């Protein structure tokens, strides 16, 4: 096994102290008054033997790990995995590595993960937080760690965050159904007090209020058994057979809903108009194509990572926390086309 090259080897080879080498490698050559000749000598040699500083040693000495963690509900969900992909790209260019984890929206799991990451001395936390971890997050902030929230916030937490205007786009989505002639519009959503969900519900209600109709709301348990959820949705649609459109507040629910609708042999949109929160790249290929709310993945990722890098660079630490609200886009497709009757 090859022995690892260390800075001491270079010092010996070049007969220069390791202090000097460290200065040069960290770009402090000029500042520390290291001669040009020494600098090039060092840099050339380092390149030649392709030396790489030991990361653990650097981390130990500086207290920084150049590592950011990102905790989301489910990293395999297309919304989150696309965000992850976009952030990774930007972070990598800045020398940072992102660690991903799925919380399943489970409070205890999230708490455990935060402990795990603290132990690993990650520098920053990007979180789509589950409920009930306000305290843990505030602890992070108290300990001067960089925290950025996205997708949702928690009350009582002062942290930079990036959100989508859930209320506005939900309102527009339901309004769109109404304008296309749908009247008895149901909402299928999760049991959840989380702000992104309550805002979506508020948007739905506001639009339904405008036509003075009643709400048809079905709540589904979060990570329950999918098969029974399909059953539940199916029963709900079947019992409320005056419903002529459904607004699904997550794509996960829409997936189950589409199965329920298929089981009931209902036609989309003749029997039931459909709008889904969160687009999927296959929705535009369905027959009929599915109308969906597309969150601006690229923008969200950029804002989040920019805020994070700013915090990590030390700027903005003492500044007032920013809350960025981005608009989403309603991708109108065939599943919500104007009613013909």
Partner DNA sequence: GTCGGTTTATAAACCGTTTTAGTAACCAAT
Partner DNA sequence: ATTGGTTACTAAAACGGTTTATAAACCGAC
Contact footprint for a second copy (CB under 8 A): 1-2, 52-60, 65, 74-76, 78, 81-82, 84-85, 88, 92, 97, 99-102, 115-116, 118-121, 142-144, 255, 258-259, 262, 280-282, 284-287
Q: Which stretch binds DNA (CB under 7 A): 16-24, 79-87, 109-117, 230-238?
A: 16-24
User: In this structure, how many other beta carbons lie within 10 angstroms of the beta carbon of residue 201?
Assistant: 21
Measured from the CB atom, the residue of 1 and 320 that comes closer to DNA is 1
Cis omega (within 30 of 0) for bond into 269: yes
Among DNA, a second copy, none, partner that 105 touches (CB below 5 to 8 angstroms by kind): none
DSSP characters over 192-256: ---HHHHHHHHHHHHHHHHTT---EEEEE-TT--HHHHHHHHHHHHHHSTT--EEEESSHHHHHH
Q: How far is the CB of 61 from DNA (least distance, A)?
A: 4
- Output phi, psi for 90, to 5 deg: -70, -45
Burial of residue 259 (CB within 10 Å: 0-12, 13-18, 19+) is middle
- The listed partner (DNA, a second copy, none) that binds 75, CB under 5 to 8 Å by sort, is a second copy
CB of 38 to a second copy, least distance (A): 24
Query: Among residues 6 and 81, whose Cβ is nearest to DNA?
Result: 6
Give the residue with the Cβ less far from a second copy, 204 or 247. 247
Question: Which one of DNA, a second copy, none interacts with residue 34, CB within 5 to 8 A by kind?
Answer: DNA
Assess whether the previous peptide bond of 330 is cis (omega < 30° from 0): no
- Please give the structure tokens belonging to residue 226: 């999918």
- The span from the CA of 81 to the CA of 74, in Å, is 8
Query: 241 is in the binding site of which of a second copy, DNA, none (Cβ under 5 to 8 A by kind)?
Result: none
Q: Is 323 in the site for DNA (CB under 7 A)?
A: no
Q: Select from 13, 40, 44, 57 the one that contacts DNA (CB under 7 A).
A: 57
Run of H or E including 189: strand 185-190
Q: Which of 45, 53, 82, 339 binds DNA (CB under 7 A)?
A: 53
Q: By C-alpha distance, which of 315, 294, 50 is closest to 172?
A: 294
Q: Which is nearer to DNA, 18 or 109 (CB)?
A: 18
Q: Which is nearer to DNA, 8 or 313 (CB)?
A: 8
- DSSP bridge partners of 248: 188, 276
4 binds DNA (CB under 7 A): yes
What is the 8-class DSSP label of residue 150? E
Query: If binding is defined by CB under 7 A, does position 19 make contact with DNA?
Result: yes
Distance CA 277, CA 288 (A): 17
Among 26, 108, 213, 240, binds DNA (CB under 7 A): 26
User: Coil, helix or strand for 56?
Assistant: helix
Residues that bind DNA (CB under 7 A): 4-8, 15-20, 22-23, 25-26, 32-35, 37-38, 51-54, 57-58, 60-63
């Amino acid at each position: 096994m090859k022995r690892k090259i260390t800075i001491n080897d270079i010092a010996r080879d070049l007969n220069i102290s390791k202090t000097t080498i460290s200065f040069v490698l960290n770009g402090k050559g000029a500042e520390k008054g290291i001669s040009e000749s020494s600098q090039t000598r060092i840099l050339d040699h380092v390149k030649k033997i392709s030396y790489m500083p030991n990361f653990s040693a650097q981390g130990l000495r500086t207290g920084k790990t150049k590592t950011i963690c990102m905790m989301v509900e489910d990293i395999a969900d297309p919304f989150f995995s696309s965000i992850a992909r976009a952030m990774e790209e930007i972070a990598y260019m800045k020398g940072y590595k992102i660690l991903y984890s799925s919380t399943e929206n489970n409070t205890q799991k999230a708490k455990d993960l935060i402990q795990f990451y603290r132990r690993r001395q990650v520098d920053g936390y990007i979180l789509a937080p589950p409920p009930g971890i306000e305290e843990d997050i505030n602890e992070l902030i108290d300990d001067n760690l960089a925290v950025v929230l996205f997708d949702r916030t928690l009350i009582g937490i002062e942290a930079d965050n990036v959100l989508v205007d859930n209320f506005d786009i939900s309102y527009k989505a339901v309004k769109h159904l109404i304008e296309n002639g749908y009247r008895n519009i149901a909402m299928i959503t999760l049991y959840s007090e989380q702000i992104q969900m309550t805002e979506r519900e508020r948007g739905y209600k506001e639009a339904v209020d405008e036509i003075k109709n009643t709400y048809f709301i079905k709540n589904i348990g979060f990570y329950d058994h999918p098969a029974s959820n399909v059953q539940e949705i199916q029963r709900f649609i079947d019992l409320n057979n005056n419903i002529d459109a459904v607004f699904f507040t997550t794509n996960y629910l829409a997936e189950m809903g589409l199965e329920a609708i298929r089981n009931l042999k209902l036609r989309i949109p003749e029997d039931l108009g459909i709008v889904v929160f969160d687009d999927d790249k296959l929705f535009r290929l369905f027959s009929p194509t599915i109308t969906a709310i597309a969150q601006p993945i690229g923008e969200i990722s950029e804002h989040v990572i920019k805020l994070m890098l700013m915090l990590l660079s030390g700027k903005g630490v003492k500044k007032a926390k920013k809350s960025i609200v981005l608009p989403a886009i309603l991708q109108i497709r065939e599943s919500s086309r104007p009613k013909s009757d």
